[in-house]
Amino acid sequence: MNNSNKQIKNICCIGAGYVGGPTMSVIADQCPNINVYVLDVNDSKIKAWNDPDFSKLPVYEPGLDEVVKKRRNINLFFSTDIEKYIGIADIVFISVNTPTKTKGVGAGQASDLKWVEACARQVAKFAKGHTIVVEKSTLPVRTAEVIQKILEVAELSSEREDDKKTFDVLSNPEFLSEGTAINDLENPDRVLIGGVSKIAIDSLSNIYKNWVSEEKILKTNIWSSELAKLTANAFLAQRISSINSISALCETTGADVREVSRAIGLDNRIGSKFLESGPGFGGSCFKKDILNLVYLCKYYGLEEVANFWEGVVLINNWHQKRISKLVVKKLFGTLSGKKIAIFGFSFKANTNDTRESAAIQICRDLIDEGAYLTIHDPKVDPKQIALDLGISPLTQCKENKDKNDLNINGCWTFSESTDIFEEAHAALMLTEWAEYKNIDWELAAKKMISPAWIFDSRSIVNPENIRKAKLNLWRVGDGS
């Protein structure tokens, strides 16, 4: 640990993904006197961040292109030269992926920390002088200890005065949501910094103070900071599972989940946010972070606590399956050879991210039932959909349809237009993109095969318009 309070001039961030890219762009924008280097091992991602066409940035976020346009190659740089920029950085943010382990101890629940460990080793090797290492990735509580141990080895082996390396480790989790990342970063509810060294904490806090008021900068011990991030995501996801579980009860009792949400949300103690019933939460983090919490609880012998939180994920899985099952049921128990128009594939609106999107499981289930899906999404690349579904888009869908063979395998195609109603038996709204609010349902009804169904898992259609168009409607949590 080093106590010198030097001016921060250079920052680098390892990981140019959904968090690293936007977060560093906003820091560069708010701190014109600091050079910000965003680094990644993925060459094509870095090329995309440097693309002269700002619509090709690898992350789609409203407002991000404007910020990058303003600062890129002025004090914001994207590079694969990890060694060079760690070497000049006063602060290194670690913002790499921390997915669930797929094999070995803790498989299916624990976080895979191999990328974080690799970063710690890179920093240990290439850093010069004093470096503040900041955990930006979401990590299991006590990960800082691991990073610290790796860095300590480098501290001890850098004996020569001119080659002396010292480190401080801080936790500074990110709370941005995709789709609103720029606004969340520019106007955060709070910035959380956990650490031991007051000087290191103040150095990082001074960066945020350029645009965040001091009372919103929360300083805690490092373990509280790490655990607060997992807890925040668990609480948010728990609200969604709670309301989705009630949506099923609404459907069988004649209640309306929107009315129930509003009625409970007006209670100040409950609050109105995160009470929208949908197709089940997606996104890269809720599931993996809760599973990680479950693993930690089990590790520390807290079986009941683990079971409590695991329930949030189990209800989410059940809810997604519930939706695909009811589509099959309403379409007379078979989807074989039936065309279904799918509206939205990203896990929420205003992002091109599909990680853990409810659309993946639901579309797979429908394809398994033999359906022919035509998928529209304004931002998701069809190549990504193919990867997520594990099935290539087929022209064969058309061939099968022409043959009118009812024993065909399910398949999918992509459409850039929302006009995908021709001969569809149903339309399924999976992402709440604003443009889906303007669909002309009377026109759609003329193209669909009767009796046609609209399945709205996002409460995005106006039920009145569906009724006027004489289409059947299922809305999540609508028991009327």
CA distance 380 to 385: 7
- Across the strands, what pairs with 79? 39
**CB 42 → ligand NAD: shortest distance, Å?**
4
126 vs 343, beta carbon nearer ligand NAD: 126
Question: Which of the residues are catalytic?
Answer: 285
95 vs 148, beta carbon nearer ligand UGA: 95
Here the tokens at position 45 are 């991602």
Does residue 157 contact residue 197 with C-beta atoms inside 8 Å?
A: no
Which backbone phi and psi does 339 adopt, to 5 degrees?
-85, 135
Picked from ligand UGA, ligand NAD, none, the partner binding residue 233 (CB below 5 to 8 A depending on kind) is ligand UGA
177 vs 245, beta carbon nearer ligand UGA: 177
- The whole-angstrom distance between residue 268's C-alpha and the CA centroid of its chain comes to 28
- The whole-angstrom distance between residue 81's C-alpha and the CA centroid of its chain comes to 27
Picked from ligand UGA, ligand NAD, none, the partner binding residue 98 (CB below 5 to 8 A depending on kind) is ligand NAD
154 binds ligand NAD (CB under 6 A): no
168 vs 174, beta carbon nearer ligand UGA: 174
Mask for 91-130, x = binds ligand NAD (CB under 6 A): ----xxxx----------------x--xx-----------
Picked from ligand UGA, ligand NAD, none, the partner binding residue 347 (CB below 5 to 8 A depending on kind) is ligand UGA
Picked from ligand NAD, ligand UGA, none, the partner binding residue 132 (CB below 5 to 8 A depending on kind) is none
124 vs 291, beta carbon nearer ligand UGA: 291
CA distance 314 to 431: 21
Does residue 176 contact residue 185 with C-beta atoms inside 8 Å?
A: yes
Name the segment binding ligand NAD (CB under 6 A); options: 16-24, 187-195, 248-256, 380-388: 16-24
Mask for 280-319, x = binds ligand NAD (CB under 6 A): ----xx----------------------------------
Angle at 143 between CA 139 and CA 145, to 5 degrees: 160
Among 11, 13, 17, 26, the residue binding ligand NAD under the rule CB under 6 A is: 17
Cross-sheet strand order for the sheet of 129-135? 76-79, 35-39, 10-14, 91-94, 129-135, 165-171, 191-194, 217-220
3-state helix, strand, coil in the chain (%, to 5): 45, 15, 40
Residue 470's identity, in one-letter code, is K
Q: Strand 217-220 and strand 472-475: pairing?
A: unpaired
Buried b (16+ CB within 10 A) or exposed e, 242-271: bbbbbbbebbeeebbbbebbeebbeeeeee
Among 45, 165, 258, 319, the residue binding ligand NAD under the rule CB under 6 A is: 45
Residues making contact with ligand UGA (CB under 6 A): 138, 174-178, 233, 236, 240, 274-276, 278, 281-286, 347-348
176 vs 193, beta carbon nearer ligand NAD: 176
16 binds ligand NAD (CB under 6 A): yes
Picked from ligand NAD, ligand UGA, none, the partner binding residue 20 (CB below 5 to 8 A depending on kind) is ligand NAD
174 binds ligand NAD (CB under 6 A): yes
Among 2, 12, 20, 275, the residue binding ligand NAD under the rule CB under 6 A is: 20
Picked from ligand UGA, ligand NAD, none, the partner binding residue 97 (CB below 5 to 8 A depending on kind) is ligand NAD
C-alpha distances in Å from residue 422, one per residue of 131, 290, 315, 374: 60, 41, 35, 10
